[in-house]
Amino acid sequence: MNFALVTGGSRGIGRAVALRLARMGYKIIINYQSNNAAAEETLALIREAGSDGELLKFDVSNREETVAALEKWQAEHPEEYIEVLVNNAGIRRDNLLIWMEPEEFERVLNTNLFSFYNVTRPLLQSMIRHKYGRIINMASLSGVKGLPGQCNYSAAKGGLIAATKALAQEVGKKNITVNAVAPGFVKTDMVEGLDEAELKKQIPLNRFAEADEVAAVVAFIASKDASYITGECIGINGGLYT
């Protein structure tokens, strides 16, 4: 069985992606930061779906911790490699820039953008050796359009989209595709506290997305059917910004 790593796989969009990839036959490595119970629940759902997986807890914003966890995994699985990587873990800390503390800016950049470097780089070598890989980065509408109150988050996600396009050109010859998806509003813990009734008035489809509607697109990009798509950023926003 081939392996897929989903960062932030314990909850929300990451969990939905993990389940979709599990149904495609992947064994799922569920990364998360602290929520053991949620991660266990994702694993149980993966097993119910007929696949298997394992938990790999590390903080994607911490380079040493991330590299150590991935090297340990590889040492324990000398015959295997991670062929699908979904860089999904993310946080938001919204504030107007004039009020934004350095810690709010740095944490969001570290978790949403530097994590791309921390997680992807250690896995690239084996994808190149096997001449196959799928890397999917969870961006956001905020990184395409820029949203007020999110200078930190928009910068991180915009940077992630640019890195997606750059890496796609570096590794295309090795049969590795690199794409991003940019969801609008998705019903997860992350949007708790937002006024859905008010915000949905701006969305042509008049509702927030379900996590599985994002996962469906990620699963397609991860599939063999998406073999000629690379360097793209696919919007999943109900028409909010087209």
- Annotated catalytic sites, by residue? 153
Distance between CA atoms of 54 and 46, rounded to whole angstroms? 10
4 to 23: interface string for ligand NAP, x by CB under 6 A: ---xx-xxxxx---------
Regarding 158 and contact with ligand NAP (CB under 6 A), the answer is no
- Contact residues for 202 (Cβ-Cβ < 8 A; gap 6+): 240
- Given a contact cutoff of 8 angstroms between Cβ atoms, the answer to whether 73 and 56 are in contact is yes
The one among 33, 74, 175, 223 contacting ligand NAP by CB under 6 A:
33
Structural tokens at position 74: 């590889």
Distance between CA atoms of 12 and 211, rounded to whole angstroms? 6
The one among 51, 118, 120, 140 contacting ligand NAP by CB under 6 A:
140
Distance between CA atoms of 179 and 163, rounded to whole angstroms? 10
The one among 52, 101, 189, 196 contacting ligand NAP by CB under 6 A:
189
Distance between CA atoms of 32 and 42, rounded to whole angstroms? 11
Q: Which of residues 201-240 bind ligand NAP (CB under 6 A)?
A: none
Give least dist CB 61 to ligand NAP, A: 5
- Which CB, 78 or 193, lies closer to ligand NAP? 193
H or E stretch covering 171: helix 151-171
Structural tokens at position 232: 């793209």
The one among 18, 26, 59, 218 contacting ligand NAP by CB under 6 A:
59
Give least dist CB 224 to ligand NAP, A: 24
Enter the DSSP assignment of 197. H
Residues that bind ligand NAP (CB under 6 A): 7-8, 10-14, 31-35, 38, 59-61, 88-91, 111-112, 138, 140, 183, 185-186, 188-191
